[in-house]
Amino acid sequence: MDRIRFLLKKAFTPITIMVIPHENLKSLNLKVPFIGILLFLLVLIVGAFQTYTLILNGLKYPFLIQKVNFYTQKFSEWNATVTALKETERDFRKIFSSKSKDKVLDTIETSYSGDIDIENLMGEIQKTAERVDEIKDYLRIQKDLYMATPKGYPVEGNISSPYGNRDNPISRERTFHSGVDISATP
């Protein structure tokens, strides 16, 4: 008992911390109990650990950034392909607006080089559409997870019966309770 009193007395014994400025200003004296300094150091260590953990978790996100950049690039390519298709369609409409076969053939020889590879283009469009579907599925799953995650208790009140094994209030037997009961006022 005396040892506990001695430890408590030492823990609450104030320590004076003096801050002395370089100029002719008044010095600052702080009296802090020894336990206060220990608690401050503990909070500092826990805060440093928490910051370190957050930094490590933050390093995982560049993978997602790379993935988003990859898909952004693919969308850009897809958009350029669609734009090229629209221009080609416009050219074809202009060519085929001629009424005579001779004019169509003459226009094709002079204005259209025929460089477009339709099969390759269709393959790229198909791949891009699949990637878009993958992104949509991923975003839908992430949204479902977010919406399914509880954001707190459904009502304010005290937990009257926790999750897990408990004495059943009706049968008085020890049973597993798969929910959480909250007593609330109406």
In this structure, the answer to whether residues 49 and 126 fall within a common structural domain is no
Q: Does one domain contain both 54 and 98?
A: no
Give residue 159's pLDDT.
Answer: 87
The total of structural domains in the chain comes to 2
Regarding whether 71 and 47 lie in a shared domain, the answer is: no
Whether 101 is covered by a domain: the verdict is yes
**Which residues constitute the domain of residue 140?**
61-148
Q: Does residue 115 share a domain with residue 133? A: yes
Q: Are residues 73 and 142 in the same domain?
A: yes
Q: Is residue 178 part of a domain?
A: no
Domain co-membership, 41 together with 92: no
Same-domain check for residues 91 and 128: yes
- How does pLDDT run along the chain (186 residues), one tens digit per residue? 788 888 888 888 888 888 888 877 888 888 889 888 899 999 999 999 998 887 777 666 666 677 778 888 888 888 887 787 777 777 666 666 666 555 655 555 555 555 556 677 777 777 777 777 787 787 788 888 888 887 788 888 888 888 899 888 889 899 999 888 888 887
Residue 167 lies in a domain: no
Residue 34 lies in a domain: yes
Are both 67 and 142 inside the same structural domain? Answer: yes
Query: Both 143 and 89 in a single domain?
Result: yes
Measure the CA–CA gap between 107 and 100, rounded to whole angstroms.
Answer: 11
Taken in order 34, 37, 39, 45, the sign of the CA dihedral is negative
Same domain, 85 and 144: yes
Residue 155, domain member (yes or no): no
Shared domain check, 34 and 68: no
Answer whether residue 176 is part of any domain: no
Task: Give the distance from CA 173 to its chain's centroid.
Answer: 44
Q: Is 44 domain-assigned?
A: yes
